[in-house]
């Protein structure tokens, strides 16, 4: 039922956008009615909704079979604060909440000479991030009611689902990750100017800078001993309303 409501709402929104964009009328700001583009404001606010897919990038100590990662579609929601620098450059702060789950599947190669069962070959990594990116947005000249842009910057995230301080490790079924992570981000999108707001679909890649793995107490642990570093990678598809 929720999926049907979301689909109907998206189709209605798309129909409205299609009707307003593909006309020769250029949407401008109406100060009396408070409608239209507010690009000339020093500060602007908005919110975003979207989807994400998170992965891990592993570097290994030995040439064993790669750990397979099963990804799932996550959900993003957050706020936008935009500082106008000039007609083509904006500074943006986009704090948000991101929820995702990843499953790690180990090859039996990691357990050579060790007893194991099927549960030992799978580890679930749940993440609930408070994500705070600081981005620079570089836009082209506005073309009627379209304005393409690229965006890049750095971000930090606090993982509320982290079990970094848990005394149990993989020997007790606990795969541990760090609480704090740093990323750099790159993306692109298009601003669509409508009569009542500015709608922006965008795609952005996220790349971890620091190692997020908390290693097991046993230096020969089959789950962590062969991992030199484990860094998050992610892909966002966000829909912004300003």
Domain ranges of the chain: 2-241
pLDDT, position 197? 83
- Res. 222 pLDDT band, cuts 50 70 90: very high
pLDDT above 90: percentage of residues in the chain: 74
**What b/e sequence results for 63-98 when a residue is b if at least 16 CB atoms lie within 10 Å of its CB, and e otherwise?**
eeeebebebeebebebebebebeeeeebebbbebeb
- The CATH number of 2-241 is which of 3.40.228.10, 2.40.160.20, 2.60.40.10, 2.60.40.420? 2.40.160.20
Contact yes or no for 48/231 (Cβ under 8 A):
no
DSSP 174-192: --EE-SEEEEEEEEEEEEE
Q: In the prediction, which pLDDT does 38 show? A: 64
pLDDT of residue 158: 96
Above 90 in pLDDT, residue 88? yes
- Report how far Cα 59 is from the mean position of its chain's Cα atoms: 22
Query: Does the structure show a pLDDT above 50 at 3?
Result: no
Taking the C-alpha atoms of residue 85 and residue 163, their distance in angstroms, rounded to an integer, is: 40
pLDDT digits (tens, 9 = 90+) for 225-237: 999 999 999 999 9
The first and second tokens of residue 231, run together, are: 């860094």
- pTM for the model: 0.81
Please, which pLDDT band fits residue 195 given cuts at 50, 70 and 90? confident
Mean pLDDT of 79-104: 95
Q: For 130-158, what is the mean pLDDT?
A: 95
Query: pLDDT tens, 13-66?
Result: 444 445 444 555 666 655 444 444 567 789 999 999 999 999 999 999 998 899
Cα(211)–Cα(1) distance, rounded to whole angstroms? Answer: 40
Using the Cα atoms of residue 188, residue 104, residue 101 and residue 95 in order, give the sign of their dihedral.
Answer: negative
Q: Give me the chain's average pLDDT, please.
A: 87
């Amino acid at each position: 039922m929720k999926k049907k409501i979301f689909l109907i709402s998206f189709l209605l929104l798309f129909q409205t956008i299609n009707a307003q964009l593909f006309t020769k009328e250029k949407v401008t700001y109406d100060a009396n009615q408070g409608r239209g583009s507010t690009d000339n404001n020093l500060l602007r606010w908005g919110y975003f909704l979207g989807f994400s897919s998170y992965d891990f990038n592993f570097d290994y100590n030995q040439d064993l079979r790669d750990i397979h990662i099963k990804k799932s579609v996550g959900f993003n929601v957050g706020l936008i604060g935009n500082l106008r620098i000039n007609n083509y450059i904006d500074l943006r702060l986009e704090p948000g909440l991101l929820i995702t789950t990843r499953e790690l599947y180990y090859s039996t190669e990691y357990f050579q000479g060790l007893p194991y069962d099927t549960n030992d070959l799978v580890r679930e990594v749940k993440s609930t991030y408070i994500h705070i990116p600081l981005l620079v947005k570089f836009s082209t000249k506005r073309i009627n009611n379209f304005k393409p842009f690229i965006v890049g910057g750095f971000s930090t995230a606090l993982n509320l689902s982290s079990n970094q301080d848990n005394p149990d490790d993989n020997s007790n079924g606990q795969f541990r990750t760090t609480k704090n992570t740093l990323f750099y981000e790159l993306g692109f999108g298009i601003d669509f100017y409508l009569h009542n707001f500015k709608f922006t679909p965008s795609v952005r890649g996220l790349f971890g800078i620091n190692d997020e793995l908390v290693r097991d107490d046993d230096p020969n642990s089959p789950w962590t001993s062969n991992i030199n570093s484990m860094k998050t990678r992610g892909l966002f598809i966000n829909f912004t309303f300003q």
